[in-house]
Amino acid sequence: MGQGMIGLARIGAFAAAFMFAGSAGAADVPWRHAIIEAKSDAGIFMMIEKGGFAAKQGLKLEIIQFKNDVIALQALLAGDIDSFDGGPSSGIVAAARGADVKAIGCEWPGVPYGIFVKKEINAVADLKGKTMAISSPGAAPDVVAHFVLAKFGVPADSVRFANLGADLDRFKAVVAGVADATVVSNEYTPIAEKQGVKMLLRAQEVVPNYMRICLFSSGKAVTERRADAAKFLAAEMSSLHYGLAHRDEVIALTRATTGAKPDDPRPAFIYDDAVKSHAIDPDIALPVDKLKWLADQLVASGVLPHPYDVTKMVDTGVRLAALARLKQ
């Protein structure tokens, strides 16, 4: 069990009491969950709904797509959604500034990002004076880009950052020469060379403690809809365990969701890479040590003006209740 985790032995009465709390008739109110715009790993994220796992938990689930996790965070704070998948950096920054954000689990702790560049760029130092495409300031690609530049001693102000949308938009921008580099999912590896683009480095080599995706909700949602929050996490756990054991179904769901052609290698590539590298945690643990590391990095980089205790934004109770449901 990782640092900061509550042992499974403590589930017992605490989790059971948490699980059954909540208002009557909540099953009629949808749990609104946001994901980043569907791409070649869409089958993994959509399985909870399309595979019927939410329904099996008695939960009416609506999945909403946003261009990036910063927009999803704004929707959460506005009360338009109940939870979202996103990079942990934006959640930590918001919580440190007093926003009602709670981390309830991290299902994709691996780092599948890569720095993709035009072929003439051969080192991070070559990015000085160049344009790097990001999704939005504060979103995961932006944070990873800044970490990589800092690691190699390249001042961030020596690089031009351009907000150019989702992964596919940013990748196309590099292909078209609109940008010189970008941070995107490594799913583009099998098609990059043919389009005159290459991966300069894997982000995991530079920031191994950075986590791709955690699940965030609000204190209001997990308090007022505790039973539904537990149902949601239990359904997510079940769907991830199923998905990791059913490759062909996940890839087929990805293709159906995104309209990917049968000869597009990306859905199979990202799935196989995630399984091989153990990037996905189907038990959705909360590695507080990695969240603490990220908070420290955000302070060191000046994003956060003061240290922040991430345990204040971590809610382990939802996960414990979800595990109790699955044991039953």
Supply the pLDDT for residue 112.
Answer: 86
Mean pLDDT of all residues belonging to the chain: 90
Contacts of 10 (CB under 8 A, 6+ apart): 320
Comparing 130-134, 265-269, 301-305, the range with the smallest average pLDDT is 301-305
Nearest to 181 by CA among 166, 195, 198: 198
Would you say 257 and 36 are in contact if contact means Cβ atoms under 8 Å apart? no
For the cut 90, the answer to whether the pLDDT of residue 303 exceeds it is no
Q: Are 228 and 26 in contact (CB under 8 A)?
A: yes
Phi, psi of 42 (to 5 degrees): -60, -35
Q: In sequence order, what are the residues at sequence separation of 6 or more whose Cβ sits closer than 8 angstroms to the Cβ of residue 63?
A: 33, 34, 35, 45, 46, 48, 49
Q: What is the pLDDT of residues 23-57, one digit of tens each?
A: 334 458 999 999 998 899 999 999 999 999 999 99
What's the one-letter identity of residue 269? F
Query: Is residue 18 over pLDDT 70?
Result: no
Residue 137's pLDDT is: 83
pLDDT over 90 percentage in the chain: 78
Report the residue count for the chain.
328
In three-state form (DSSP H/G/I as H, E/B as E, the rest C), the secondary structure along the chain is: CCCCCCCHHHCHHHHHHHHCCCCCCHHHCCEEEEEECCCCCHHHHHHHHHCCHHHHCCCCEEEEEECCHHHHHHHHHCCCCCEEEECHHHHHHHHHCCCCCEEEEEEECCCCEEEEEECCCCCHHHHCCCEEEECCCCCHHHHHHHHHHHHCCCCHHHCEEEECCCHHHHHHHHHCCCCCEEEEEHHHHHHHHHHCEEEEEEHHHHCCCCCCEEEEECHHHHHHCHHHHHHHHHHHHHHHHHHHHCHHHHHHHHHHHHCCCCCCCHHHHHHHHHHHCCCCCCCCCCCHHHHHHHHHHHHHCCCCCCCCCHHHCECCHHHHHHHHHHHC
Share of the chain above pLDDT 70, in %: 92
Instruction: Round to whole Å and give the CA distance between 162 and 233.
Output: 35
Query: What domains lie within the chain, and their CATH numbers?
Result: 8-110+211-327 (3.40.190.10), 113-206 (3.40.190.10)
282 and 241 Cβ atoms separated by less than 8 Å: yes
**Can you give the pLDDT at residue 292?**
97
- Please say if the pLDDT value at position 14 is more than 80: no
